[in-house]
A and B are shown apart, each in its own frame.
Chain A
Amino acid sequence: MNKNQKIILIVAFSIIAAILIYWQTQGGDILTKTQVQVEKVDELFNTTYMEWEDKFVLGLDYAGAASAVTAVLSGILIFLFRNKKKEKQ
C-alpha cells in the first residue's frame, strides 16, 4: 500500500467514524427523522403535552448509506492509485 492509498484509507475511516459517532450522539435511531416530539407544560391545567418540532435526526439508514458510499469511493480511489503505480513499474 503506497502513501496515497494510506491517506485515502485514513480519510475514509475518519469520515465513517465521524458519521457513526454523530449518529450515536443523535440517539442511535434506526430510521432518520425529520420531526421530534418535545414535551411542553400546560400551566393552566398543570399537565404536560407533546408537540412536534422540526429537527433532523440522523438514523442508521442515512448514516449507513453515507458510510457505504464513503467506503465504495475510497475503494475506487485506492484501486485507481494502485493501478497508476503498477503502470509506472
Chain B
Amino acid sequence: MKNTLSIIAVLIFFSTTLFAQGFNVKASGEQTFNFADRGGRNQATFFSTTPLEDINGLTNDVKGMVTFNVNDLKTLKGKISVSVASIKTGIDLRDEHLRSPDWLNAAANPEITFTIKNVGDVKAVEDNKIEAKVTGDITINGVTKEVTSDATLTFLDESEMTKSRAPGDLLGVQAKFKVRLSEFGVKNKIVGQKVAEVVEVGVNMVGSNAN
C-alpha cells in the first residue's frame, strides 16, 4: 500500500512538472499581454564580433502583444517589433552604418518584426516560470525567415510589488536566437571591419494584461 502511494505521488509530481504545458498561477484562460513599455525597461540586444572588437547593440524601443491560454503555452500567438532607428552600439558612426542600406536599411524597413508561429519543448521550471522553444518568422531588412528561439517566460500575478511596475498580471520574456546576416541580405562590414556572419540576438521584456 505504501509503495502504491509512493508511485502515485511520483506520477503526480511528474505529470505536473515534466508534462505541464502552462503556468500554475491564479490567472486562467486566454490572456493578452501588451509590451507597451512605459519605463524603457524592454530591450532587444545583439552581439557580434569583428577581428578588432566586439559589438554590443541595444534598443529599448521594443513593443508588441502576445495572446495565450495561461494553462497551455502552446496556444501562444503574437508579434513583437523593434524600431531599427533606435538601435545603438555606443558609437554614432557605427549606428549610422547600421541604419544604412548596406545594413538594416532603416528608411525602407523601419522595423524588425517577429511573428510567433508555434511553441515547442515546453518545460515548467517553476509554477510561474516556463522554458520553451518559440518558433516564428523574423523579418529583417525586408527579408523574412523562420527562426527558433530559446525562451523563458515568467508569469507574475498582480501584487503590490508588480503594481509598482505596471497594473495587471505581468509576463516577463527572455529569449535568445541567432541570425545569419547573409540570409537577410546584410553585408557584414561595418566601419571597415568585417563582422561575424552569425549575430546573437536577445530579447528581454515585460508585458501587462491590464488594458
Contacts and interface: CB of A to CB of B under 8 A. Distances in A.
Contact of B161 (A32, A44, A49, A52): A44
Given A44-B165, A45-B206, A47-B204, A31 B53 contact: yes
How big is the B interface, by class? Answer: 20 to 34
B178 interface: no
A31 B43 contact: no
A73 to B, nearest CB: 26
A36 B58 CA distance: 10
A30 B89 CA distance: 14
How big is the A interface, by class? Answer: 10 to 19
A34 B93 CA distance: 11
B90 A42 contact: no
Contacts of B56: 37, 50
A49 B90 contact: no
Contact of A31 (B91, B156, B161, B170): B91
Nearest to B171: A45
Given A50-B58, A52-B88, A30 B172 contact: no
Contact of A47 (B53, B88, B172): B172
B5 interface: no
Contacts of B162: 44
Given A29-B53, A44-B161, A35 B172 contact: no
Contacts of B165: 44
A27 to B, nearest CB: 9
Interface string A53-83: 0000100000000000000000000000000
A33 interface: yes
Interface in B36-66: 41, 43, 45, 52-53, 56, 58
A72 B62 CA distance: 48
A85 B90 CA distance: 50
A49 B41 contact: yes
Interface in B129-159: 154, 156
A64 to B, nearest CB: 13
Interface in A10-32: 29-32
Given A32-B91, A50-B58, 5 more contacts: A31-B91, A35-B90, A42-B172, A44-B162, A49-B43
Interface of B: 41, 43, 45, 52-53, 56, 58, 88, 90-94, 154, 156, 161-162, 164-165, 170, 172, 174, 191, 204, 206
